[in-house]
Amino acid sequence: MKKGFCTTLGILVVIALTVVAFSNPALAREKKYHWKISHMRPEGATIDEDLHWFADQIYEASDGRITIDVYPANQLGDYTVVQERVSVGAIEMACQSLSTSRNPKLQIQYMPYLAKDWEEAKVVFGADSPVIKSIQDMLLKEDVVGLVNWPVYFGGIATVKAAQDPATIGANKMTKIRVPSIRVFTLLTREWGYQGTPIPWADLFTSMQTGIVDGAIGAGAEGYYSNFRDIIKYYYAVNDHFENWFLIMNKDLWESLSEDDKNLIMKYAKELHNKRFMEAEKEEGNYMNMLAERGVEIVKFSSEELGAFAENSRSKIWPQLKEDIGAELIDGCLKYIEEK
């Protein structure tokens, strides 16, 4: 009887402490966490350094209660797998591209020429822009919280041989390039006069090396330098899309946090966003210079040429995407851009 009484008493004490913890924010804040955060680049890359900085700030500001381990180079799976695992809580956080497999409307992030230069990008992809807000709303439906976006670079085209008449829209470029399995890029390459071929990113190096394709679209100077600097000969800085990665977190985990812990995480997430916007344009230029040092010819376009690319994309390609993304969202983005 004494043993049974002690067991019952112990259970009641645990229940009582649990109730007190949930009713007392001061105790709830003392909960400890140990999370994983995934990204796509090798150890030592800028995103790796930024996420280590983020994790260190959170650890120090929480007095060691919140530990975040950084997993680089797709160690926890490619971005599509990681996004699914974040949605179910198997991975707590990630900073990466967003998969459109569950929601085609997320193609809005890859829309050609939502911004054509860095000045426009700071407005269109600012933290409070309708583009970012719409993406965050869509992520919530996948049980994912998009804390902030992490701007990466403007997209370009990299090839192993020269494209013909690259500044003329619709001219036959006589060049076959890899496109991601996202309709935006298929439409864009067709409109411009490239022959697009869907190929997984992991197979791209071999495909260019063996002549299956002559190049690729879907990345920027940093991505091409990191993966293909030994094989590409030309880089066309067409600024076709603005690459954003998102710092994401499992929704249930986020909602379980105290308000103080949410505020702490958002404080450093916003600093991460702002810090990156200040550095990204310079870094893009540095990677173009590094490509040039490796013998890659950098082909840049004038403001007028980029403006023509943007006008063509908005008039020819955007209407074709309305079925996938939604006319209201696309028209709203266009209005926002025109007003700004």
- Look-up: residue for tokens 């067409």? 238
Cα 118 from chain centre: 17
Positive or negative, the CA dihedral 222, 224, 225, 227 is positive
Query: Is it the case that residue 15 has pLDDT exceeding 70?
Result: no
Query: Is it the case that residue 4 has pLDDT exceeding 60?
Result: no
How many angstroms separate the CA atoms of 49 and 28, rounded?
A: 31
Which among 102, 108, 103 has a CA at the least distance from the CA of 125?
Answer: 108
Taking the alpha carbons at both ends of the chain, their separation in whole angstroms is: 76
- pLDDT score recorded for residue 5: 46
User: What are the Cα distances from residue 96, in Å, to 19, 83, 146, 171?
Assistant: 38, 9, 11, 34
**Residue range 144-172: average pLDDT?**
97
- pLDDT score recorded for residue 30: 74
Residue type for position 227 = N
**20 compared with 245, residue with greater pLDDT:** 245
Residue type for position 79 = Y
Cα 269 from chain centre: 14
pTM of the model: 0.84
**Residue range 190-194: average pLDDT?**
96
For the chain, the residue count is 340
Q: Token pair of 299, please? A: 């082909």
DSSP-assigned letter for residue 54: H
Phi, psi of 310 (to 5 degrees): -65, -45
**Residue range 49-72: average pLDDT?**
98
In the predicted model, what is the mean pLDDT of the chain? 90
Phi, psi of 152 (to 5 degrees): -110, -65
DSSP-assigned letter for residue 17: H
- Look-up: residue for tokens 């494209």? 163
Residue type for position 231 = I
- Look-up: residue for tokens 């173009």? 288
Question: What confidence category does residue 333 fall into, taking pLDDT thresholds of 50, 70 and 90?
Answer: confident
Residue type for position 307 = G
How many angstroms separate the CA atoms of 339 and 336, rounded?
A: 5
- Look-up: residue for tokens 């376009």? 301
